[in-house]
């Protein structure tokens, strides 16, 4: 990770869970991290904690609604003005709604597409543009995916979410192929965790906290820090090593 010290990383969905853990880890390793979310209060608190801990990097909170392309473009413009550009893009933001395929609301489906697919694609495009403008040939795009992007969970309230995550699997491989066509050494990686104990289930099942809690009570789940450690491992791999897709799950998780 030594070569990343002082470089700029963007982490989307940085306020809680995996995003917050990844942000903390990158700041600890000396990176300048722009952490974005719709609500930056928790990111500002995390920035203060990182500073108090004496981490060598810095955390810059940025308020951004990733379902709004104009806000994403404005964020990249601000990063260019203040920090020159993005060297590492961690597309972490994602969400799920209880909207089955046969009875779900279009609004919920659209929101999942906007955040899980379109925001990731827009951030990737703008990050690559930033790297290309500055002749950065060793950048990295990391998409935080899900095991739901590799198999369909037998639960109606997960099906549309899984479809968006299958898209992330395809997009990451497509990005890798296009980067090769562009003859660049910028890398693209997909990290697909199984069940991670975060606020995700409580947001997903926001009208049924008992159901949300039950998700994490059946086994020893992954922690957000486990995923953050995998991000650090991927970033720290030698520049000639392309780690394409990392699938990780709790030992006790069946599928």
Name the residues annotated as catalytic: 161
> Residue 247 half-sphere exposure, CB side, CA atoms within 13 Å?
10
Two structure tokens written together for 71:
């806000």
Two structure tokens written together for 165:
């995550």
Q: Helix, strand, or coil here: 122? A: helix
CA–CA separation, 144 and 156 (whole Å): 22
CA distances from 135 to 83, 128, 186, 214 (A): 15, 10, 11, 49
State how far Cα 182 lies from the chain centre: 24
Q: Helix, strand, or coil here: 141? A: strand
Two structure tokens written together for 9:
């990383």
Q: Helix, strand, or coil here: 251? A: coil
Q: Which helix (H) or strand (E) holds 11?
A: strand 8-12
DSSP state for residue 196 in the 8-state scheme: B
CA–CA separation, 133 and 143 (whole Å): 22
Cβ-Cβ contacts under 8 Å for 237 (sequence gap 6 or more): 243
Cα torsion angle, 117, 135, 180, 30, sign: negative
């Amino acid at each position: 990770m030594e070569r990343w010290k002082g470089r700029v990383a963007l982490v989307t969905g940085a306020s809680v869970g995996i995003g917050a853990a990844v942000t903390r880890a990158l700041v600890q390793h000396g990176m300048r991290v722009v952490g974005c979310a719709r609500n930056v209060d928790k990111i500002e608190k995390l920035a203060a904690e990182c500073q108090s801990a004496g981490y060598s990097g810095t955390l810059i909170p940025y308020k951004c609604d990733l379902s709004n392309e104009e806000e994403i473009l404005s964020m990249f413009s601000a990063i260019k003005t203040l920090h020159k550009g993005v060297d590492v893009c961690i597309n972490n933001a994602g969400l799920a709604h209880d909207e089955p395929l046969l009875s779900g609301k279009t609004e919920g489906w659209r929101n999942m597409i906007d955040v899980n697919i379109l925001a990731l694609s827009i951030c990737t495009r703008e990050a690559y543009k930033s790297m290309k403008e500055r002749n950065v040939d060793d950048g990295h795009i990391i998409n935080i995916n899900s095991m739901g992007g590799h198999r369909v969970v037998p639960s109606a309230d997960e099906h549309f979410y899984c479809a968006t995550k299958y898209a992330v699997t395809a997009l990451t491989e497509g990005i890798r192929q296009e980067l090769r066509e562009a003859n660049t050494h910028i890398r693209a990686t997909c990290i697909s965790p199984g069940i991670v104990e975060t606020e995700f289930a409580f947001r997903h099942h926001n009208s049924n906290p008992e159901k949300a809690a039950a998700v994490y009570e059946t086994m020893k789940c992954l922690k957000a820090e486990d995923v953050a450690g995998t991000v650090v491992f991927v970033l720290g791999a030698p520049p000639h090593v392309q780690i394409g897709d990392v699938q990780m799950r709790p030992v006790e998780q069946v599928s």
